[in-house]
Amino acid sequence: MELCPAWFDRYQELVAAAQPQHGEASHYRRRRPADSQLDPERSLAEQFNLLRVVDNQHYPAFFNWRGRRLRLQVQSEPLRSP
């Protein structure tokens, strides 16, 4: 909220300095819950990119195992020196 007044005060200057976008536009399809499904037969290292982008609230990582759906929560913490 603190940035809004400063942006509005400089709006004309910012619009005048705008530059056209170069290169190809990129579009990604909408993420769905099924996009967070892990394969229990593959290693975590193989599925790291999927784990990196899961959303614990809306699209948690999960896998199906022996008739049950198991959900994983992913958290990032800084490493501590021993």
Q: What is the pLDDT of residues 7-25, one digit of tens each?
A: 889 999 989 999 998 999 8
pLDDT of residue 16: 93
DSSP letter for each residue of 2-53: -HHHHHHHTHHHHHHT-----S-----PPP-GGGGB--TTS-TGGGHHHHHT
- State residue 11 phi and psi, 5-degree precision: -55, -50
3-class SS of residue 71 = strand
Q: Are 72 and 38 in contact (CB under 8 A)?
A: yes
| pLDDT at 3 exceeding the cut of 90 | no
Q: Where are the domains of the chain?
A: 35-75
Per-residue pLDDT of 28-68, as tens digits, reads: 888 898 999 999 999 999 999 999 989 899 899 999 999 99
State the pLDDT at residue 37: 96
Integer-rounded Cα radius of gyration of the chain: 21
